[in-house]
Structures are given as structure tokens and as C-alpha cells.
């Protein structure tokens, strides 16, 4: 009788994934909870009213708006030297759709860089958040696909949390929306693999308009 022994190779867990999860978790002090990325305007205007409209809104932002653009900025920043990162910084600032949108990216980016530099001894300058995350991930030797996918998931997770408070939306409904968008985060990480800042565009006009109108709201819970 022949006995066949099947061997299974167990790959060690990459600790950098845990670091990336820490950077993009709600506990990391970038103040993401304070920003709705224009969603507060969308709710007050009646454009986002329930789980279905929230999912549609976030789907478009991921595919055709800020999510897609941020994915490209992250990939561009990962291999960039200081001079190139400075050029990307200027370009990212110019592409911001509104003053609040720019302030949101800059404040979170500065907070991220300050903490990442202090804890991991990195050299990340004060730049918009996606560039800061990309630069840090590059210095840590992280994989671009993992970085983009987790960043996008954290992005929609924060907006889902904002929607739970704004609509209001139940916790379970919010988690269903996030679960439905999770495969899209992975898909966008893959689809932006070969793109450069020259490919950045946005057709999420209502999202951009919401960001512009937010600063004139009479009652506001969020800074954007």
C-alpha cells in the first residue's frame, strides 16, 4: 500500500499589512471622523436618503471621483523621490475641487505624516493624505495593491460611519453597504495599476458640488 503525504506550505504573515491596517484604522490620529467629504450636503439636499442611495453615491465616488484619483496619487507617490513628491503635491492641490476638499486632504495628510514619522522614523512631508500614505508605504516597502485597496476601504468606511450619523442609518444597514463596496475597493486597486496622474479625472460632479456648497450650510456637523 502506498501512503501519500500531502504537504502544505504556510506562508508567514507580512507584518507590514498590520502596520497598514493601523495607519488606516479609525484609531490613527488623522481626524477622519470630522470630515464627510460633501456627504453632509448630499444628505441635507435629499440626494442621499437611505442605504441604497448611499451605496450608489459611494460607488460613483470610488469609480469616477475621489476614490479613483486617490488610488492614482498613492501609486504615483510610492516610488517618488523628494523632488517628484513636491511636484505631485503641487499637482494634487491644483486638482482639488474646492477649498474644503483641499483643506480636508492637507490637514489629514499633515496629521498622518507627523504620526508616521514619529512612530516609524519615516521621512514623509506634509502633503495631501493620499500622497502621504503613498510615500510612507513606499518607504516601508509595502505592496501598492494592498495599500490602495485598504486605503479605499478605509475611505468608504469613514463615509459610511458619517452616513450612519447623518441620515440616520442603522449600524447593520451601514455594514451591508460597506460589505457590498468591499469588492469594488479591490477592483479599483487593480484597475488603477497602470494609471498615472495624467489619467486623473472626475465625473462625480454632484459630489464636487456638494463639497463646494458645504461651507454655506447653516447647520454643520462635519468640516467638509
| pLDDT confidence tier of residue 7, bands split at 50, 70 and 90 | low
Which are the contacts of 207, defined by CB distance < 8 A and separation ≥ 6?
37, 38, 42, 57, 60, 61, 65, 66
Higher per-residue pLDDT: 14 or 211: 211
SS3 state at 203: coil
Closest CA to 16 of 124, 132, 120, 128: 120
pTM to 2 decimal places: 0.92
Q: Where are the alpha helices (DSSP H) in the chain?
A: 15-23, 39-44, 51-64, 66-77, 82-95, 99-120, 129-139, 144-166, 171-191, 205-214
Model confidence pLDDT, tens digit, residues 161-176? 999 999 989 999 999 9
Distances (CA, A) of 198 to 61, 73, 111, 194, 203: 19, 10, 27, 11, 15
Question: Domains in the chain, ordered, with CATH?
Answer: 31-213 (1.10.4190.10)
Cα end-to-end span (Å), the chain:
71
Cα(121)–Cα(108) distance, integer angstroms: 19
What's the CA angle centered on 62, arms 222 and 208, to 5 degrees? 50
Cα(139)–Cα(142) distance, integer angstroms: 8
Average pLDDT estimate for 115-131: 97
Model confidence pLDDT, tens digit, residues 10-66? 556 778 899 999 999 999 999 988 999 999 999 999 999 999 999 999 999 999 999
The top-scoring range by mean pLDDT among 130-134, 205-209, 217-221 is 130-134
Closest CA to 145 of 154, 156, 134: 134
The fraction of the chain above a pLDDT of 70, given in percent, is 95
Amino acid at each position: 500500500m502506498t501512503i501519500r503525504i500531502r504537504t502544505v506550505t504556510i506562508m508567514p504573515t507580512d507584518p507590514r499589512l498590520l502596520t497598514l491596517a493601523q495607519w488606516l484604522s479609525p484609531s490613527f490620529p488623522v481626524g477622519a471622523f470630522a470630515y464627510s467629504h460633501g456627504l453632509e450636503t448630499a444628505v441635507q439636499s435629499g440626494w442621499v436618503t437611505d442605504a441604497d442611495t448611499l451605496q450608489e453615491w459611494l460607488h460613483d465616488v470610488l469609480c469616477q471621483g475621489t476614490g479613483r484619483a486617490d488610488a492614482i496619487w498613492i501609486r504615483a507617490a510610492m516610488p517618488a523621490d523628494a523632488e517628484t513628491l513636491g511636484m505631485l503635491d503641487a499637482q494634487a492641490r491644483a486638482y482639488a475641487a474646492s477649498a474644503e476638499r483641499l483643506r480636508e486632504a492637507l490637514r489629514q495628510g499633515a496629521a498622518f505624516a507627523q504620526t508616521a514619522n514619529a512612530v516609524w522614523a519615516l521621512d514623509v512631508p506634509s502633503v495631501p493624505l493620499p500622497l502621504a500614505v503613498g510615500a510612507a508605504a513606499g518607504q516601508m516597502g509595502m505592496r501598492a495593491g494592498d495599500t490602495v485597496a485598504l486605503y479605499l476601504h478605509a475611505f468608504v468606511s469613514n463615509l459610511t460611519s458619517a452616513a450612519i450619523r447623518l441620515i440616520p442609518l442603522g449600524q447593520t444597514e451601514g455594514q451591508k453597504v460597506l460589505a457590498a463596496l468591499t469588492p469594488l475597493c479591490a477592483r479599483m486597486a487593480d484597475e488603477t495599476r497602470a494609471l498615472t496622474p495624467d489619467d486623473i479625472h472626475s465625473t462625480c460632479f454632484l459630489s464636487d458640488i456638494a463639497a463646494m456648497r458645504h461651507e454655506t450650510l447653516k447647520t454643520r456637523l462635519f468640516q467638509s
